[in-house]
Amino acid sequence: MGVVALVPAAGRGERLGYGMPKALVPVDGVPLLARAVRGLLASGRVQHVVIAAPPSDVDTVSTVTAPLAQAGGAVHVVAGGAERSDSVRLALEHALREIPDTSIVLVHDAARAFTPPEVVRAVVDAVAAGHPAVIPVLPVADTVKQVDANGVVVATPDRAVLRVVQTPQGFDARVLLRAHESGLHATDDAGLVERLGVPVVTVPGHQDAMKITTRFDLAVAEALLARPGG
Ligand code: CTP
Ligand code: MG
């Protein structure tokens, strides 16, 4: 059973505004991408990592991530695409072409650099137990409103049945390929799979698996590292 993690890291990081791809932005001297890959390999469940890098930064990303392979997994770097879904598809095609026995695929944002290894293990183990699609989730803390085009509230969904979705999202490799070949569109990989009619199950996520999007999030990440035992 081969477990391959795809890491979309080809975004420009415009909201963070660092003038470099977000994946390469350091926190305490270590780029977000390196932290994300390290967490995947530390789970002990991932044999290969395929990173989708910004096309102009493939060499830099290879240099930054090559030493991580010593942590017990092979690291591959491919050029990403214009949208996140293109980057995932390019990494998936590489995995299915180049890595024999790819049966379980994780998709994990480089921007979720502090995801604890136990979340990775929970996702892999649920896919290995026979669930074709698995996502880590958290309860919703705020009340959520649905609004119309004018910003007027039209509904208040019951918060108790809502979840916030994180990564890594885990899939049977054939199911994820079918989802990406379907021509459907969704804001995440599980959304694509859901549209195929495949059941998507949830496992507990973790607050540390937050996505780093803005300067505020980066400040939170720095605070995470400053915790005792950080
Ligand atoms: N991503 C990617 N390929 C793209 C766009 C995004 O691989 N064409 C990746 C990002 O590198 C990130 C993840 O998808 O790891 C989630 O995207 P997001 O948080 O939006 O990151 P960026 O696109 O880099 O940020 P921004 O939208 O602020 O430019
Ligand atoms: Mg983006």
Break the chain into its structural domains and give their ranges.
Answer: 2-226
152 CA → ligand 1 middle, Å: 30
| Closest ligand relative to 166 C-alpha | 1
**H, E, C per residue of the chain:** CEEEEEEECCCCCCCCCCCCCHHHCEECCEEHHHHHHHHHHHCCCCCEEEEEECHHHHHHHHHHHHHHHHHCCEEEEEECCCCHHHHHHHHHHHHHHHCCCEEEEEECCCCCCCCCHHHHHHHHHHHHCCCCEEEEEEECCCCCCEECCCCCEEECCCHHHCEEECCCEEEEHHHHHHHHHCCCCCCCHHHHHHHCCCCCEEEECCHHHCCCCCHHHHHHHHHHHHCCCC
Nearest CA to ligand 1 atom 13: 109
**pLDDT tens, N- to C-terminus, the chain (230 residues):** 799 999 999 999 999 999 999 999 999 999 999 999 999 999 999 999 999 999 999 999 999 999 988 767 899 999 999 999 999 999 999 999 999 999 999 999 999 999 999 999 999 999 999 999 999 999 999 999 999 999 999 999 999 999 999 999 999 999 999 999 999 999 999 999 999 999 999 999 999 999 999 999 999 999 999 988 76
Residues with CB under 6 A from ligand 1: 8-16, 22-23, 52, 80-84, 87, 109-111, 211, 213
| Closest ligand relative to 23 C-alpha | 1
Ion ligand 2 neighbours (CB, 5 A) are 11
| Closest ligand relative to 86 C-alpha | 1
Give the dihedral of Cα atoms 90, 63, 99, 210; nearest 10 deg: -60
Write down the pLDDT at residue 208. Answer: 97
Write down the pLDDT at residue 113. Answer: 98
Looking up tokens 């991408």 gives 33
Q: Which ligand 1 atom minimizes the distance to the CA of 33?
A: 15
Q: Which CATH number fits domain 2-226: 2.90.10.10, 3.10.20.30, 3.90.550.10, 3.40.50.720?
A: 3.90.550.10
Write down the pLDDT at residue 71. Answer: 66
User: Which of 84, 108, 213 maximizes ligand 1 atoms within 8 Å of its Cβ, making it the mutation to test the pocket?
Assistant: 84
85 CA → ligand 1 middle, Å: 10
11 CA → ligand 2 middle, Å: 6
Write down the pLDDT at residue 95. Answer: 97
Nearest of 102, 107, 67, 71 to residue 87 by alpha carbon? 107
14 CA → ligand 2 middle, Å: 8
Write down the pLDDT at residue 115. Answer: 98
Amino acid at 217: D
